Amino acid sequence: MSRIVYVNGEFVPEEEAKVSVFDRGFLFADAVYEVTSVLRGRLIDNAAHLARLARSLDEIGLESPLPVADITAIQQELVDRNRLDEGVIYLQVSRGAADRDFVFPEDAEPTLVMFTQVKELENDPKARSGIRVISTPDIRWGRCDIKTTALLAACLAKQAASQAGVDDAWFVADGLVTEGSSNNAFILAPDGTLITRQLGSEILPGITRQVVLALCDETNLRFEERPFSLDEAWAASEAFVTSASSFVYPVVAIDGKAIGDGRPGPVATRLRELYIAKASAD
């Protein structure tokens, strides 16, 4: 069955959804995006996702095509029209279509596209098994805090992981883990402290990361926001990643080295349960 997608003010079957070949999202990745999870037909942490969208737009000097309330209404309508019970909603804003020129066009209208994707979130098999990752040099640009569609480095990293027979990749710069290719990275040090890199231009300020850290606060789980090395990661008692489309995935191996006993750890499992409980209750 074909999906209904949203393109610039219209809800159309996906076969009929069209964007210009001159769209700057296509030509320059001059575009930002958001992914919000949907659980039992409800948008999870969406206000925070739209606040980050506003920040990304601001950082690239692009005005929001619509007020936040209108965007939320369209997201909800798309979820309803597609009867999406569990999955994600993707939203992208580009600077629009114009003759190819690096300098911003003066009169282009931004392109706003949204579509849904079905995905098992709560009973995701990867949450039960945990994922295996490899480390890879962080070859991305200097503004990873902006959620742009320029994701070639992430595609290359995920492809390398796939070819290595594992699930994902962690980016490493100067011996320090920055983040996962599409998620934030956490380790549990042998002394019981949870560690994740501090916010800055090297990582995306993950919404799920922020919620998980708030849950750590509420449950008195000690954490530090600081860079951690690949050596610390290999020696960790647990590791996990967070993102809207995975919630919390335990990491059971890094570069072929088992983390802890090589099975999903109790802290990652507990934080995942707490996250789902909070998302369901909000």
Active site residues: 147
- 243 in contact with ligand PMP (CB under 6 A): yes
How do beta strands 257-258 and 86-94 pair? Answer: unpaired
Out of 92, 136, 208, 269, the residue judged to bind ligand PMP by CB under 6 A: 208
Neighbours of 177 (CB within 10 A): 26
x-or-dash string of contact with ligand PMP, 64-103, rule CB under 6 A: ----------------------------------------
Give me the residues paired with residue 168 across strands: 133
Whether residue 52 contacts residue 207, with contact meaning beta carbons closer than 8 Å, is answered with yes
- 178 in contact with ligand PMP (CB under 6 A): no
CA angle centred on 271, ends 48 and 165, rounded to 5°: 95
- 209 in contact with ligand PMP (CB under 6 A): yes
Q: Would you call 191 exposed, middle or buried from its count of C-beta atoms within 10 A (0-12, 13-18, 19+)? A: exposed
- 206 in contact with ligand PMP (CB under 6 A): yes
45's tokens: 């942490």
- Count residues contacting ligand PMP (CB under 6 A)? 13
> Which residue bears the tokens 């619509």?
66
Q: Which range binds ligand PMP by CB under 6 A, 87-95, 121-129, 220-228, 239-247?
A: 239-247
Query: How far is Cα 232 from Cα 257, in angstroms, rounded to an integer?
Result: 12
- 244 in contact with ligand PMP (CB under 6 A): yes
Q: Nearest distance from residue 180's CB to ligand PMP, in Å?
A: 6
The residue type at 117: Q
Q: Nearest distance from residue 278's CB to ligand PMP, in Å?
A: 14
Q: How many helices and strands, by DSSP H and E, does the chain display?
A: 8, 16
Out of 184, 252, 254, 259, the residue judged to bind ligand PMP by CB under 6 A: 184
Q: Which of residues 15-54 bind ligand PMP (CB under 6 A)?
A: 35
196's tokens: 């994740």
Q: Nearest distance from residue 182's CB to ligand PMP, in Å?
A: 4
Which residues make up the interface to ligand PMP (CB under 6 A)?
Answer: 35, 179, 182-184, 204, 206-209, 242-244
